Structure 1
Amino acid sequence: MWTALVLLVVLAAFGVWLGVRAFEAKAGLEQARDSAQQAKDALMQGDTDEASRFAKEAQSHAEAAHAATNSIPWNVVSAVPWLGSPFKTGKAISDVVVGLIADVLKPSTDVGLALSPNRLYADGRVDIQLLRSEQPRLAALSEDAARLNADASVISDPGYLSLLREARSQLQEQTSQLADLLGNTALAAHLVPAMTGADGPRTYFMGFQTNAEARGTGGLLGGFGILRFDNGIATFDDLGKNTELAGAVADVDLGSEFNQQYGFTNPKTDFRNSNLSPHFPYAAQIWKSMWAQRSGLDVDGVVAIDPVALSYVLGAVGPVTMPDGEVITKDNVVELTESTAYIRFPEDQVARKNYLQDIAGEVVKKVTGKVESPRALLDALGKAVGERRIAVWSSSRADQQLLEQTPLAHVVPDDAAPFAGVIINNLGGNKMDYYLEREIEYAADGCDADTRMSTVTVRLKNTAPPDAQLPDYVAGTAGLSQDIPFDVPSGTMVSSVRLIGTSGASLVSALANGERVPVFTGGERGHPTFEIQVLIPPGQSGELSFRLSEPTSPGAARVPIQPLVDDVTPKVSVPECAD
């Protein structure tokens, strides 16, 4: 009896000891998380002193949690099968958190001080030597973040304690995002100096896409200019209208698959159809070749941007004033360039193109001049990149290989992971896509079999009022063949809706508003494509549904959003399968 009593006392004391350590671990991890978030916020705002202080606090709290999860009672319980599962998970979580703060967060504050936007970009010049000098540290941070992300990804399931399961999932998501961010930052530090003239002048064809008329890369090529970099200093000239490329022939070989998918539209001889594919390197090579034929200048790369991205930039650098006194702001630039200009110049297309060209030129001039808040400009550009509104291609194979590891490249990936790219091309030759609203959903079954069923749903709405008095250039259908045996009402969207599916997927059925419809099939970089052509009158909407059988491929599902006027967040319900 005395032995049993002593044993109970020992067990009770052990339980109290373990409970205290568990409380210390929980409190330490929560406080470390809060301090780390404050450090991150301060770093993003350029307050490196506060970022350093919060990083030290985060490290102190994380080390306290780490000590608790490596204590004697914690290690004893962790070794017990099943019962110890949550404790083993908690120990692994604290190990990763300590590593993140010591190896990534704290060093990041030092790099953040060195690469503050005010030092990195001033008076229209990128300090490329500073960026190059910090590239090794950024590469080391990226490697550490990738290592810790790998450690987080293999943290075991906590078993019966759901609270820790949620903490594990949050940590895995955060480390993945951090690894991606630092990986892209390290790539940028490697790429930017060379691409902005550190090793000699670079020139870029800069295309302005009019996404009121949808194309695969975003919108119709509406105008262009030549962006030049020399030792980090940017200049902009040779502004031109898209009609200056009329009659130019692109001397590029994009492969038999491209020719089969797009050749009938003459993309290499008609600039209007040069970017039907969402794979930006195709359009970039065509534009580069066309401009070389027209001007004799062989550019080093191609950049594309749209009016929504320009609105973000104007929000950072302030409005521009046109020669006639009109003020272009972040609030009116999209409407002016995508809608008002067509109403203001309903017949005089040359005047309209000159007007749009002048706006683009004034914005670029302001960006390449003195900027009061480089941080705001970098944030605006980052937002535009995140929404796929800026695309970049380089003629340097080495640079392009690095670009394709970033969101700037806009490539259709040639791998087997789940994929659903919904691409809209305007068939009417009008500007009705300014009024387009989209919803996109991608759902799939589980990972139990070699194949699974999936469904991609696309909802489209024409928000133009039925009684709107729009010019024929905006609401007409000049792009349609005259042989079509029926009339299309003014303001109707005539669109090609093409789904680029997972590699190896096959179409089971395709429905438009619940009824079966004809589908044109093809291929894009190893992916099957399924196209439906639709008409949507003003004020009406429609729904397309693609039912597929696709391989149960490992990897996270990707649903890239074509950059049009509206802002779309896709709904994705696709389980991520393991190898």
Structure 2
Amino acid sequence: MFLGDKVFECSSNIRMFFKKRKKSNIWKWFFGSCFVVLITFLVFSYYAIRNFDLSSVIDNNFLQNTIRAELNEGQNKILDVVPVVFGFTKPKTYLFLFQNNTELRPGGGFIGVYAVVTVDRGKMEIVEVEGSGVLDKKTLANWQPVPPEPISKYLGVSQWYFSDGNWSPDFGESAKKVLELYKGEGGVNADDIDVVVGITPTVLERLMNITGDFTIDGIEFTSENVTEQLEYEVEYGYESKGMAFEDRKSIIRPFMEALVGHIKDNLFERYDDYYDVLFSLAHEKHLVFFSQASDLQTLVDNYGLSADVVETNHDYVLWVDANLGALKTDHAITRSLNYTISKRPASHESESDRYLAATTMEYFHGGTFDWRTSTYLTYTRVYVPKDSKLVSIIGKRKNGQSIGIDEVDSGEELGKQWFGVYFAVEPGEIKSLSFIYQLPTNIAEDIVSNTYNLLVQKQIGTINHGLTLHLDFGKIIQSAKPAEEEQHWGDRVYEYKGDLRLDRKFNISLKAD
């Protein structure tokens, strides 16, 4: 068949594919296909164009025009990004971080494995896949960056390693530090990294809900056990197989190859399922991105995939846990966040009303001591509006004594005030930690002006905290979004009970006195 005949056949296939889908969903297919590829390292081929490789689409004006004719103006803009993502303008290098959220860290989870993938004109090559501990051990003697004090104090290390690099709850900031440490430890292609992608095991679990189970070297992987099985193999299983410590994470490559194979088998058939799952994972911060290239970062920001700490002049809460020395115990921890506001009238006419906020996390440790579960040990920080003033802390140390306010660390970062302590929860225990603080003047003035806005952000890698609000402004609530249940309308307290699967925004209008 001549090339012209192939192009004509491909064009017909594209039109038939698009006609089977609602026009509003076409952009999902096109952009989402790119998304699936980057996560699974597929050597991408657009199933709609059958035997053509990606360069046949990008370089062929007739095919491009055929696709564009089926898309509206806004959707066509996405096509302009595809050449950038897949290295047609220039080769792209991606650094994938496998962040284990059963060992939660501020930026998503302990970086146990990393991969480097290059893309050049649609052709992908996996340059490196290895355990981050292997890279850490290669660190040169003259490279000794000082770690944050909690890492040094509670992990007993004097050097900041690549695997601990995601200390910031803002993924962009964590990615920049990870890249710095990666280069300092001699990581391959360190000067060429264009995009950093963070992935938690939750991504694997939900993808396997679609692919189904599979077996590798006699090990059965399911969506329910995949995280535990991989952890066991890299922590203990390698010994029974006579493998060296440096090779203990070699199971990752055949696992990813098997996962890719299963996705490849049913991607076209179950495309919508993959699209929905991956975009949900991104919005739930299990799949996060940072690019050093402004064009790609703009795309990441526009689709809400950057997992950054949001700048705001309104009220704000972000609770951040860092598992320091507690194995993989986060798998056994259930969390519920509670936020309250109460009015404190001025004691003198020359003063203004004050508003006290209390942010409380309740932890339930549902595990028992085993190879991956221990006492839960977390360095906890709560990020709140800048200029908030700590009033007190309520919580108990491991020995049962109350934590004193003088034991609370504090600082300013990312345009926020933060307070932090080291906290322990025993197996079977329910335990709470509360920070009580005075909200800054600008938020008090908003309430006096009868408006209140709150953003509660979820930490990268967390699953589904409970979230409860009890906001007593001392004023009648006129309207609210989200709305309260009807039986709570018309009083002075805003009540909410839900979850923190996603970032949550609240907008409340108060009745003038």
TM-score, normalization by structure 1: 0.60
Alignment deviations for residues 308-363 of structure 1 (CA, whole Å, 9 cap, x no partner): 111112223344442x1433232321232346754545897545422345434543
Alignment deviations for residues 43-66 of structure 1 (CA, whole Å, 9 cap, x no partner): xxx9978x9xxxxxxxxxxxxxxx
Q: Which residue of the partner structure matches residue 507 of structure 1?
A: 390
Alignment deviations for residues 415-456 of structure 1 (CA, whole Å, 9 cap, x no partner): 323221111112225222222211112233589978632221
Label 1:306 to 1:357 Cα distance change in 2 as closer, same or farther (>3 A). Answer: farther
Q: Which residue of the partner structure matches residue 137 of structure 1?
A: 72
Match of 1:359 among 239, 255, 272: 255
Matched residue SS, 1:288? helix
Q: Is the 8 A contact 2:111 2:164 kept in 1?
A: no
Q: Is the 8 A contact 2:130 2:249 kept in 1?
A: no
- Please state how far the C-alpha of 1:203 moved relative to its aligned partner: 1.4
One-letter code of the match for 1:215?
Answer: R
RMSD of aligned residue pairs (Cα, Å): 4.2
* Unaligned stretches of 5+ residues in structure 2: 1-16, 38-42, 47-53, 59-63, 346-351, 472-505
Match of 1:300 among 194, 205, 215: 194
Residue 430 (str. 1) matches residue 312 (str. 2): no
One-letter code of the match for 1:294?
Answer: G
Matched residue SS, 2:23? helix
Q: Is the 8 A contact 1:308 1:565 kept in 2?
A: no
Moved more, 210-219 or 340-349: 340-349
Structure 2 Cα separation of the partners of residues 397 and 263 of structure 1: 34
Match of 1:278 among 169, 181, 186: 169
Q: Is the 8 A contact 1:555 1:578 kept in 2?
A: yes
Q: Which residue of the partner structure matches residue 23 of structure 2?
A: 110
Match of 2:309 among 409, 412, 417: 412
One-letter code of the match for 1:274?
Answer: G
Alignment deviations for residues 259-290 of structure 1 (CA, whole Å, 9 cap, x no partner): 89989898984123211211112222233344
Q: Which residue of the partner structure matches residue 92 of structure 2?
A: 202
Residue 229 (str. 1) matches residue 119 (str. 2): yes
Residue 124 (str. 1) matches residue 27 (str. 2): no
One-letter code of the match for 2:434?
Answer: S
Structure 2 Cα separation of the partners of residues 200 and 564 of structure 1: 32
Residue 371 (str. 1) matches residue 274 (str. 2): no
The alignment of Structure 1 onto Structure 2 pairs a total of residues equal to 407
- Please state how far the C-alpha of 1:536 moved relative to its aligned partner: 1.3
Moved more, 213-222 or 428-437: 428-437
Identity level (%): 19
Label 1:507 to 1:232 Cα distance change in 2 as closer, same or farther (>3 A). Answer: farther
Q: Is the 8 A contact 2:28 2:275 kept in 1?
A: no
One-letter code of the match for 1:311?
Answer: E
Q: Which residue of the partner structure matches residue 576 of structure 1?
A: 507
One-letter code of the match for 1:390?
Answer: L
Q: Is the 8 A contact 2:27 2:71 kept in 1?
A: no
Match of 1:535 among 416, 424, 430: 424
Q: Which residue of the partner structure matches residue 94 of structure 1?
A: none
Match of 1:329 among 222, 234, 246: 222
Q: Is the 8 A contact 1:212 1:434 kept in 2?
A: yes
One-letter code of the match for 2:210?
Answer: A
Matched residue SS, 2:311? coil
Q: Is the 8 A contact 1:288 1:301 kept in 2?
A: no
Q: Is the 8 A contact 1:211 1:219 kept in 2?
A: yes
Aligned residue runs from structure 1 range 13-162, under 5 A = 109-113=22-26, 116=29, 124-125=44-45, 133=68, 137=72, 139=74
* Unaligned stretches of 5+ residues in structure 1: 1-45, 52-108, 140-184, 476-490
Q: Which residue of the partner structure matches residue 147 of structure 1?
A: none
- Please state how far the C-alpha of 1:523 moved relative to its aligned partner: 1.7
Moved more, 288-297 or 386-395: 288-297
Matched residue SS, 1:419? strand
Matched residue SS, 1:496? strand
Q: Is the 8 A contact 1:420 1:559 kept in 2?
A: yes
Alignment deviations for residues 365-409 of structure 1 (CA, whole Å, 9 cap, x no partner): 655787242222111211211221011110113432442344321
Alignment deviations for residues 457-504 of structure 1 (CA, whole Å, 9 cap, x no partner): 101122112xx4x23xx35xxxxxxxxxxxxxxx21121111011233
Q: Is the 8 A contact 2:377 2:423 kept in 1?
A: yes
Q: Is the 8 A contact 1:124 1:369 kept in 2?
A: no
Alignment deviations for residues 195-229 of structure 1 (CA, whole Å, 9 cap, x no partner): 23342321100010112222111211000112333
Structure 2 Cα separation of the partners of residues 110 and 231 of structure 1: 28
Whose Rg is larger? 1
Matched residue SS, 2:336? strand
Aligned residue runs from structure 1 range 170-569, under 5 A = 191-232=81-122, 234-246=124-136, 247-248=138-139, 269-292=160-183, 293-297=186-190, 298-322=192-216, 324-338=217-231, 342=235, 344=237, 349-350=245-246, 352-356=248-252, 358-360=254-256, 362-364=258-260, 367=263, 371-372=267-268, 373-428=270-325, 430-445=327-342, 452-465=355-368, 468=369, 470-471=370-371, 474-475=372-373, 491-512=374-395, 515-517=402-404, 518-551=407-440, 552=443, 556-564=453-461, 566-569=463-466
Structure 1 Cα separation of the partners of residues 290 and 31 of structure 2: 27
Structure 2 Cα separation of the partners of residues 464 and 229 of structure 1: 43
Structure 1 Cα separation of the partners of residues 413 and 335 of structure 2: 22
Matched residue SS, 1:576? strand
Q: Is the 8 A contact 1:300 1:394 kept in 2?
A: yes
Q: Is the 8 A contact 2:23 2:71 kept in 1?
A: no
Structure 2 Cα separation of the partners of residues 433 and 400 of structure 1: 31
Structure with a larger share of its residues in helix: 1
Q: Is the 8 A contact 1:502 1:528 kept in 2?
A: yes
Q: Is the 8 A contact 2:379 2:422 kept in 1?
A: yes
Q: Which residue of the partner structure matches residue 478 of structure 2?
A: none
